[in-house]
Amino acid sequence: MVLFGQEMINVPLVGSAPCGAPLFAEENVEKMIPVAKEKLQGGLQYFILRATGDSMNAAGINDGDLILCKQKLTARENDLVVALIDDEATVKEFHREGNKIVLKPRSTNPEHQPRYLTEGVQIQGIVQEVVRPLEN
């Protein structure tokens, strides 16, 4: 598909993942969103999530934003990751401290605190870009 002179690729907008199903499982796809092919690395899988809440607002991810993510099951220090914890998806900054995975919010709201986990965390993807919907 070509839109505004750019070749586009449809990327699935996915919701939460019930029962441990991967976020990008077909039953979780709300709709397909066209993304410029130049933003995507060939041979890799991508998905889009809708952000909720303010736990990452200091990183520029606000409530209602769309987040383009590269499907990846591992992360490096300081990556912004999409992680599943007990079947609930979250976007946080990834860190390791010894045998623990630390998922840190980047928020102006002090209510959000880091989570220190030794098990039950599945990395689903790495945040690539944030798309902010236009306001009416």
Summarised one tens digit per residue, pLDDT across range 48-67 is 998 889 999 999 999 889 99
3-state SS, the chain, equals CEECCEEEEEEEEECCCHHHCCCCCHHHEEEEEEEEHHHCCCCCCEEEEECCCCCCHHHCCCCCCEEEEEECCCCCCCCEEEEEECCEEEEEEEEEECCEEEEECCCCCCCCCCEEECCCEEEEEEEEEEECCCCC
pLDDT at 91: 93
Q: Which residue has the higher pLDDT, 53 or 132?
A: 53
Please check whether residue 113 lies inside any domain of the structure. Answer: yes
Average of per-residue pLDDT values in the chain: 85
Q: Is residue 136 part of a domain?
A: no
Whether 78 maps to a domain, the answer reads yes
* Structural domain that includes position 62: 2-131
pLDDT class of 18 with cuts at 50, 70, 90: very low
pLDDT at 135: 60
Query: Following CA atoms 35, 12, 79, 98 in sequence, which dihedral angle do they give, to the nearest 10 degrees?
Result: -170
Task: Give yes or no: 70 in active site.
Answer: no
Work out how many domains the chain is built from and give that number: 1
Residue 63 lies in a domain: yes
Of residues 72, 92, 100, 104, which has the active-site annotation? 92
Query: Is 43 within a domain?
Result: yes
Q: Give me the CATH number covering residue 43.
A: 2.10.109.10
Q: Is residue 93 part of a domain?
A: yes
Pick from 57, 74, 51, 47: which is nearest to 111 by CA? 57
- Can you give the length of the chain in residues? 136
- Is residue 89 in a domain? yes
Exactly one of 31, 37, 39, 55 is catalytic; which is it?
55
Instruction: Produce one character per residue of 21-32: b if its CB has 16 or more CB atoms within 10 Å, e if not.
Output: ebbbeeebbeee
Instruction: Return the residue matching tokens 């769309």.
Output: 66
Is-catalytic flag, 92?
Answer: yes
